[in-house]
Amino acid sequence: MNITLKLSLIVPMYNEGSNISYFYNRITKVLENIGYRYEIICINDGSKDDTMQRLTELNKKDNRVKIINLSRNFGKEIAMSAGLKAAKGDAIIPIDADLQDPPELIPELIDKWLAGYDVVYATRTKREGETWTKKATAKLFYKFMRKITNIDIPADTGDFRLMSRRVVDALNQLPEHHRFMKGLFSWVGFKQIGISYQREPRHAGKSSFNYWKLWNFAIEGITSFSFAPLKMSSYLGLIVSFLSVLYMLFLIVRTIFFGNEVPGYPSLMVAILFFGGVQLMSLGFIGEYVGRIYNESKRRPLYFVSEQIGFDEEEPISNKDKIVRISR
């Protein structure tokens, strides 16, 4: 048993009232067995159900459950960022409240961490309770991301992972508002390794990610890490102009040899519509980036906290512990 090391669990929660007590029981069983000191930082992301009440009750029973109550729903990525900022542990583990990521895997993550890895991520080999369309689109997305960005986001890997203190310190330095966490986790670098597991269906409640959200999530990921769409529109423009020059030459030659025939309405229409489409699309690509520049340039705080529970009393550490902690 190593009481000098501390784990921080980061649990973003949006309408997870029905999952909390099951989550708490299952996770504490695992954590107690590990024997490290730990804190469970629950971020209430503007839930509309009884998540906050249940968390407060839990905190009264067990002060290792700490609560950050955000002022409204900011989305999972931001909620997680709030948790990462508050985490004090030597190793930090974001985990979903619906227990789709089995906490029983944590000891395995820790083993790899102790062996010297900074990031130990968990890769899903099987996703139960998820439709094949979701699996297929997810697969396609990871493949596409790997093609167009130069960071390597491991496929079929969620946010469930263990990160060392220095990785989280690095993440906390990133000021951007558009936080595609999976990308950022990889982007910071350090020694990373994956282990595999089977993703379980949600314990209760339903997923808050619909296809529209996932689509926007994908756009977020792409625009955060790649200029490929912008490049694509310039290349498309280049190719189309080149082809139109060829077409023009063809028309000139044809007119010289065969004279000018008036008909040409269909080809004209096709060209206009095609270019209209290409231009709108390119504008849209640019717009996605300009919008993000606009958002970042406002320099608003990432989130507001309406309440923080359980953070003031730091549990006492003996002098001996302190020395060990510093020398690590």
> Contact residues for ligand UDP (CB under 6 A)?
12-14, 16, 45, 73, 75-76, 79, 96-98, 100, 207-209
Nearer to Mg ion, 16 or 118 (CB): 16
CB neighbourhood size of 7 (10 A): 22
Record the tokens describing residue 72, joined without a space: 């409204």
Nearest Cα to 271, choosing from 314, 232, 240? Answer: 240
CB of 295 to Mg ion, least distance (A): 26
Give the Cα-Cα-Cα angle 120, 121, 122 (nearest 5 degrees).
130
Here the tokens at position 105 are 């895997």
State the nearest-atom distance from the C-beta of 275 to Mg ion, in Å: 44
Binder of residue 4, out of ligand UDP, Mg ion, none (CB less than 5 to 8 A by kind): none
- Tokens found for residue 98: 């619906």
Strands 91-94, 157-164: pairing is antiparallel
167 binds, among ligand UDP, Mg ion, none (CB under 5 to 8 A by kind): none
Among 8, 18, 51, 100, binds Mg ion (CB under 5 A): 100
- Residue ranges of E strands in 128-211: 157-164, 192-199
Whichever of 45 and 90 has its CB closer to ligand UDP, that residue is: 45
**Closest CB to Mg ion among residues 98, 159:** 98
Burial class (CB in 10 A: 0-12, 13-18, 19+), 320: exposed
59 binds, among Mg ion, ligand UDP, none (CB under 5 to 8 A by kind): none
Q: How far is the CB of 77 from ligand UDP (least distance, A)?
A: 8
Stretch that binds Mg ion, among 41-49, 97-105, 293-301, 308-316 (CB under 5 A): 97-105
- The answer to whether the beta carbons of residues 117 and 192 sit under 8 Å apart is yes
Q: Which does 179 bind (CB under 5 to 8 A by kind): ligand UDP, Mg ion, none?
A: none
State yes or no: residue 98 binds Mg ion (CB under 5 A). Answer: yes
Binding at 220: pick from Mg ion, ligand UDP, none (beta carbon under 5-8 Å per type): none
Contacting residues for 239 by C-beta, under 8 A, at least 6 apart: none
The verdict on 18 binding Mg ion (CB under 5 A) reads no
Helical H runs in 211-258? Answer: 211-225, 228-258
CA distances, 120 to each of 32, 134, 145, 193, 272 (Å):
21, 25, 21, 5, 53
Binding to Mg ion (CB under 5 A): which residues in 283-322?
A: none
Instruction: Name the residue type at position 46.
Output: G
Could you tell me the smallest distance in angstroms from the CB atom of residue 169 to ligand UDP? 23
Which residues 114-133 are close enough to bind Mg ion by CB under 5 A? none
Report, in Å, the least distance between residue 202 CB and ligand UDP.
6
Give the Cα separation of 130 and 100 in Å (integer).
Answer: 11
CA separation for the pair 306, 12 (Å, rounded): 15
Least separation, in Å, of the C-beta of 95 and ligand UDP? 8
Smallest separation (angstroms) from Mg ion to the CB of 296: 29
Considering the complex, state which of residue 209 and residue 294 has its C-beta at the smaller distance from ligand UDP. Answer: 209
Per CB under 5 A, residues contacting Mg ion are 96, 98, 100
